[in-house]
Structure 1
Amino acid sequence: MNFQLTPEHQEIRKLVREFALKDVAPTAAQRDEEEVFDRKLFDKMAQIGLTGIPWPEEYGGAGLDFVSYVIAIEELSRIDSSIGVTLSAHISLASWPLYKFGTEEQKQKYLRPLAEGSKMGAYCLTEPGSGSDAGGMRTTAVLSEDGSHYVLNGSKIFITNGGEADVYIVFAATDRALKTRGITAFIVEKDFPGFSVGKKEKKMGIKSSPTTEVIFDNCKVPVGNRLGDEGFGFKIAMMTLDGGRNGIAAQAVGIAQGAFDLALDYAKQREQFGQSIASFQGMQFKLADMATKIEAARLLTYQAAWLEGQGLPYGKASAMAKLYAGDIAMEVTTEAVQVFGGYGYTREYPVERFMRDAKITQIYEGTQEIQRVVIASHLLK
């Protein structure tokens, strides 16, 4: 058992760290304040090979492993988790099901441009009336009489990359009577007739990541854009989320590490009672606990990514990683604000942004409660 990162992993960390500091950091606060998404940053990620990290070169990817992928998400989120989740949703949620379940034709048509970064992807599962109960979706897909296309009707909400994405992985009921066994997955292009983008959410955190409603009004989808067999969509959705959770775990680790970096530097510099606050044992204990919990979350995350890369079962590991890392991100960022005291509560310092961003890692791609359900189901098999 080797806990050392390979030279390849160290190189990807260095590459992403330099990109994040040079290109992402200068505008992070402004983009958060103005709630704007900068497509140029996604384009730059494509230029340096981040948009297809784990996919084979034959599909336009970098041919790296899933550990490299979570390292990239971690390093981006260490500076700006809005950019981190942009890449995570693009790879884990939109590209992964295409790689796993797509036909060769679908991979060449859709996975390749996603991996190369000429197109951006999104994933459409959640609806106003079905969040954790994904099987209760109301969006429908009806096969045309001539069998050439499906007609989708309904809406999805809380779609990361919504409005910016070019390709959407969409789940709809082809037979509602069958419940989860009647759900089918589709590849939908933003230019398909009947597809539109609705309300953009105003959020507490990850404010420069677009989160929107997506509407299907008699949206025509060619039968060749069905992903997998009819009725297999729910399984595709759940399997996709297994890997997606690990991307969010990596985001949570990055958020926690970024907040900790700021808190540690501040504690060394801030003086009270004639000495740095880092010299007080109470502060030292706080910093020690933060660092230990971040490292534990990181190891859980890397383990799940390694398992996936080895073709081994990783569903339980990714749920554990997201559960723990999400809680630690919230805890560490709250403590980081505490280290800064009153200054931490102001927008003049970035720790409040990290704290706001951390909360979502306990909610999306399966709430913490759902992670416990997933973990327990594995334990009780």
Structure 2
Amino acid sequence: MRRLLAGCALAATLIVALLDLAVVPGRAAADAAPVTADPCAVVDSCGLGELAARLGVRFGFLYGPSSDAARQELSLRHSTMALNHALSWNVIEPSRGTYVFAPADAHAAYADAHGLDQHGMHFVWDQVGLDDLPTWVETITDADELRAVLRQRARVLFDRYPGLAELDVINEPLGTLDGALVRNHFFEVLGPDYVLELFAIVEAEAPPGVRLTINENLVEYSPEKADALVALAASVRDAGLRIDGVGLQTHLLFGGDPDWALYRSTMERIGALGLSVQVSELDVPVGQVPDRFGLQADRYRRVVETCLAVAACDEVFVWGLDDSETWLDGFLGPGLDPLLFDAALAPKPAYAAVYEALLVGRPGVDPGATTTTGSTSPALPGAAVVAPTFTG
């Protein structure tokens, strides 16, 4: 229907132009305004990354160098960024002073070869019971020694990978659904201001072009956690330290919708600090409920629309390519099918929903325009926070 309407509009414009030329002697044909159809108007005629780039937004998938040619080709078609998760501390330095660079080198080479911006994760992730901290770091109880180890880690990362576009300085510093800092190893050894120390250490070694961020989960379900995250980001900025953005992971893990109004207002508050916002680990699992993929498509659409409604939001990263490879199979069990493509790489309704949201674009912003802060459209209606029981 959209193609039919576009064709009718083009025909009408040409008829008017021809009539105009016929009745005005000497008028040059060049005076008739050219009409150019959007080459991306039909779903799947362009990649998601190309659509997002027209709006000043990066787009990508959790997918990297692979021997699976079909999946790699699909990921590359839709991506303008890639994740280097092999920078995780337990991967790159499993024992003190012993470095394993091959996995991270492969990810960096993949990004460079395909012209993708590279996001590094994580400088520090120490969520009690769920982290990437090597055991040897956990044995360090002297604060000065721990600071020295952190400085060495920062030097190694930036010396070897100077082309990073972004680095998560700290991942998941807050409790699951509250605003308290997790009392992790760094909290215990360095004290409650350890996040400020991490940013100071990384800033001292980071090249000017790399974006330094906090990455956090589940803020769309908890006003207390959203408040704490905004306050933490503000504290880093107010300490005179370099912080460039905040990643909202957006794992929609609980049954039902998140609090959409809270999700948007959190983005707006981060933008008001002068920081960018990233949708950093997006996936939308759905239980065995009626119209499950229709519900999933609606939630994906709402996430992207919310990002586009807030000018500070400039990145959407989906946490996996297709339903055959998702971390949720091991975390919550199989059958939740959280991604845009099914196991056979066929696009799901959620893919079309994301495509259409990107095609519509940012309210009041021309394709290709780049903005940094603020909001440009009326608030989306909110939804009540649901209990953490997975039903749909």
Q: Same fold (TM over 0.5)?
A: no
| Structure ID, larger Rg | 2
Higher helix share goes to which structure? Answer: 1
